Amino acid sequence: MIDPEIQRILDQKQDTLMLGHPVPNEGAVGDMRVNVTNKGKFYQMMKAGENEWRYSATFTRTPIDYLPLTGGRITGSLGLPNVKTGVDNTVLIRDTDGNVKTDEIDGKVWALKLVDYSGTPTAGHIPYFTDQDTITMDENQLFWDASNNRLGIGTASPITALHLSHANFPAFTVEDLNEGANEKIWQFLGNNGAFDLRTRTDASGAGQTAFSFTRSGTAIEYVLFPNGNVGINETAPDEKLEVNGAVHITGDTYWTGDGSGIPYGAMGQENIPTTVTIVEIGTAVIVDGMSGGETNLVTFQNAQELKVLKAGRYLITWAVSFNMASGSGQEVEGAIGKGGVAQSIGSAHRKIGSGNDTGSMCGNGLLDLAANDLLTIMVTNDSTTVDVVIAHASLTLIMAGGT
- Residue-wise pLDDT tens digits, 350-381: 998 877 788 999 999 999 999 999 999 999 99
Give the pLDDT score at 284: 96
* Position 311 pLDDT exceeds 90: yes
Distance between CA atoms of residues 377 and 276, nearest Å: 11
- What is the SS3 assignment for the chain? CCCHHHHHHHHHHCCCCCCCCCCCCCCCCCEEEEEEEECCEEEEEEEEECCEEEECCCECCCHHHCCCCCCCEECCCCCCCCCCCCCCCCCCEECCCCCEEECCCCCEEECCCEEEECCCCCCCECCEEEECCEEECCCCCEEEECCCCEEEECCCCCCCCEEECCCCCCEEEEECCCCCCCCCEEEEEEECCEEEEEEECCCCCEEEEEEEEEEECCEEEEEECCCCCEEECCCCCCCCEEECCCCCCCCCCCCCCCCCCCCEEEEEEEEEEEEECCCCCCCCEECCCCEEEEEECEEEECCCEEEECCCEEEEEEEEEEEEECCCEEEEEEEEEEECCEECCCCCEEEEEEECCCEEEEEEEEEEEECCCCEEEEEEEECCCCCCEEEEEEEEEEEEEECC
Q: What is the pLDDT of residue 14?
A: 40
Q: Are 299 and 375 in contact (CB under 8 A)?
A: no
Which range in 63-72, 94-103, 194-203, 281-290 is most confidently predicted, on average pLDDT? 281-290
Q: What is the pLDDT of residue 346?
A: 95
Return the minimum-mean-pLDDT range out of 14-18, 77-81, 105-109, 274-278: 14-18
CA 92 → CA 29, 35, 125, 244, 261, distances in Å? 26, 22, 28, 77, 85
CA neighbor of 375 nearest in space, from 397, 390, 392, 393: 397
pTM over 0.75: no
Which residues have a Cβ under 8 Å from the Cβ of 273 and sit 6 or more positions away? 389, 390, 391
Mean pLDDT value of segment 16-44? 59
Which position has the higher pLDDT, 242 or 92?
242
Report pLDDT for 210.
86
Higher pLDDT, 226 or 53: 226
Segment 229-247 mean pLDDT: 89
Domains of the chain: residue spans and CATH: 4-74 (no CATH), 264-401 (2.60.120.40)
User: What mean pLDDT do residues 267-284 have?
Assistant: 92
Span 379-399, average pLDDT: 95
pLDDT, one tens digit per residue, over 1-11 is 445 554 555 55
Task: State yes or no: pLDDT of 321 exceeds 90.
Answer: yes
Residue of 293 and 12 predicted with greater confidence: 293
Whole-number mean pLDDT of the chain? 80
User: What mean pLDDT is predicted for residues 215-240?
Assistant: 88
pLDDT tier at 37, thresholds 50, 70, 90: low
More confident residue, 23 or 375: 375
